[in-house]
Structure 1
Amino acid sequence: MDANERIQAASNFLLQSPPGEINDVLNDVRNIISDDDSLQHGILPVLKEYNLAQFITVDVPGTDHQSIVSEAARIAASGLRAEGEEQQQQRFLDPRSKTSFVFDHLALEASDPQTVEPDPESESFRQALETAVLSYLSAHFLDGVGAVFATPGSPKRFVIQVVANKYNPTNYWSGRWRSEYVVDLNEDTVTGKILVNVHYYEQGNVQLATTHNISLTLPPAAVTSTPSASASKILALIADEEGNYQRSLNETYHEMGEKTFKGLRRALPMTRQKIDWDKVLGYKLGAELTSSKGVFGNS
């Protein structure tokens, strides 16, 4: 396998990294590649893709909250940076603080905060959605991060993003909840998806990766009220959908534990005791002697 093939293999591993474990995967593939310069150059596009897809969160200088790094948050390149630098560093928007920042996809750090003027035509409803999202996070997520983005050129179209991470390496598991919704007031619709990733790796390696799509039609009351009331109704609909999906996951895995997984296990013998595999040879010898006695015992 040549260097390019090894880089491609490493890239595939990185894209499948469980929540919070990409650095561990990166350290492992470094031993395979054994060429840090080639590795860094080759995996930067993959790190960018991974960070955007996973809604990586970052502390932005001058703010007291975390911001989401995603495609919806990305600001078009200004062309002021060299191509290689642009690949590693991109500018993103934190709408809550009305700040843009440069994000380093390799170091996972934000820098160079700059004030951004929002679109006055969409900002009122965007802020109302943001307030409703933060209230929803406070009620349902222990450490959730949320953001609401106005769509450039479409003042009645908004993107809601939520991410919550839980890393517990001491007990060998990690998890990430992501959800994204497009609120279109022109069409009176909410469309989106929920993505859940969980990794258990105590004496094994089991991953859950699931996607649930959502499509809702907004009732008249959700689009004819004040921005605050409309936003609250929209988040109530989202809360119902996410709650239903959470319950369906719980029921599915309870059923798997009671039925599916039990069907995969080796049943106990009639004695209801586990076999002592060190004595298997003795069991076999005893069976042979018994068989021989049955055949020749009356001769």
Structure 2
Amino acid sequence: MAEEETELSEEQRKEIAKWFLLNAPAGEIQYVAKDLKSVLNDDDVYNEAVSEAFPVYNKSHMICLEMPGRFGDVLVTSYGELPSPYIEEYRCALDIEMSKYVGEAYPKGFCSVYCTNGKDVEGPGSDFELVVVISAARLSPQNFCNGSWRSIWNIEFKDDIQILELKGKLQVGAHYFEEGNVQLDARHECKDSTLFQSPDDSAVSIATIIRHHETEYLASLEASYLNLPDTTFKDLRRKLPVTRTLFPWHNTSQFSLTREISKELGIGK
């Protein structure tokens, strides 16, 4: 006598349904879902399976969505996920402060703030990390010059010691090509820290620190440019002889090495 078949639980049926959904070929998950709905004949199990599988499927396939108003397309990936509400408070507050700073400091600058570690932290008691990315460019090929500014700031929120640690990487590039070809590729790294405070207060402190370091670095670059004629470029020039007499390039015939050698060797006599 054949054993009676064991009926699957709702959880088991949901997991099986999810497996079929997650393994659907590209662009066909909606058709698989339609067939599963008729096979399951259970709206509760179906809705749970679909609500859990669709987000995972869309992110794994990195589907592209067209935004309303045709403002461009958006990729659906895990990298663009918003963190928990607790982390989002800090991320959003910092995004607002950094947008103010970049708008003032860079005429054509853009910035974004991402959560790179601790997205699932639901409240105080755990560490997390935010990253600020700043990019600005000034392109003027008609005037023979282009330039860009890029900076990345990693901010570690250390809950146990109530400290925020900042690590910045700054990079400046410039190219001048009018009657020549001069390029600049300057890089700088810096560190700083501040107290772990409320989202708004932390955002203000972080923005102030970033403003200070970037302004200071830009000032140091400008100072270096001003000193170039008297330092670096001067060292590249030909040194004067001990007599401190300039070489008469306009009348080099009087220093003809060939003539002097010929005279000494008696050639041409």
Q: TM-score, normalised by structure 2?
A: 0.57
Amino acid at match of 1:147: S
Residue 237 of structure 1: aligned partner: 209
- The equivalent position to 2:82 in structure 1, one of 98, 118, 140, is 118
1:188 is paired with a residue of what secondary structure? strand
1:177 maps onto 2:149 in alignment = yes
**1:240-279 equivalence runs, <5 A:** 240-266=212-238, 275-276=249-250
CA deviation vs aligned residue, 1:169-210 (integer Å, no higher than 9, x gap): 123221111111111111521112111111222233222212
The unaligned stretches of length 5 or more in structure 1 are 1-76, 82-89, 92-99, 103-109, 293-299
**1:1-299 equivalence runs, <5 A:** 78-80=59-61, 111-113=72-74, 118-119=82-83, 120-154=85-119, 155=121, 156-186=128-158, 187-218=163-194, 220=195, 223-224=196-197, 226-266=198-238, 275-276=249-250, 280=252, 282-284=253-255
Q: Residue 117 of structure 2 contacts residue 130 of structure 2 at CA under 8 Å; is this kept in 1?
A: no
Distance 1:117 1:259 in 2: 51
Distance 1:203 1:127 in 2: 47
Distance 1:101 1:227 in 2: 33
Q: 1:168–1:78: structure 2 CA closer, same or farther, 3 Å change rule?
A: same
Q: 1:147–1:261: structure 2 CA closer, same or farther, 3 Å change rule?
A: same
Amino acid at match of 2:133: Q
Distance 1:101 1:126 in 2: 25
Distance 2:208 2:248 in 1: 51
Distance 1:193 1:148 in 2: 15
In the TM superposition, residue 284 of structure 1 has moved relative to its aligned partner by: 4.1
Distance 1:118 1:80 in 2: 19
2:230 is paired with a residue of what secondary structure? helix
Distance 1:153 1:125 in 2: 12
Q: 1:239–1:101: structure 2 CA closer, same or farther, 3 Å change rule?
A: farther
Q: Residue 101 of structure 1 contacts residue 114 of structure 1 at CA under 8 Å; is this kept in 2?
A: no
1:124 is paired with a residue of what secondary structure? helix
Q: 1:266–1:191: structure 2 CA closer, same or farther, 3 Å change rule?
A: same
Amino acid at match of 1:140: A
In the TM superposition, residue 272 of structure 1 has moved relative to its aligned partner by: 7.3
The unaligned stretches of length 5 or more in structure 2 are 1-57, 122-127, 264-269
Amino acid at match of 1:132: E
In the TM superposition, residue 268 of structure 1 has moved relative to its aligned partner by: 8.5
Amino acid at match of 1:205: N
Structure with max Cα Rg? 2
Distance 2:111 2:89 in 1: 17
Q: Residue 157 of structure 1 contacts residue 183 of structure 1 at CA under 8 Å; is this kept in 2?
A: yes
In the TM superposition, residue 117 of structure 1 has moved relative to its aligned partner by: 6.1
The sequence identity of aligned pairs, in percent, is 28
Distance 2:238 2:143 in 1: 26
CA deviation vs aligned residue, 1:100-156 (integer Å, no higher than 9, x gap): 889xxxxxxx95326876222311111110111111012211111111111253453
Q: 1:262–1:160: structure 2 CA closer, same or farther, 3 Å change rule?
A: same
Q: Residue 130 of structure 1 contacts residue 148 of structure 1 at CA under 8 Å; is this kept in 2?
A: yes
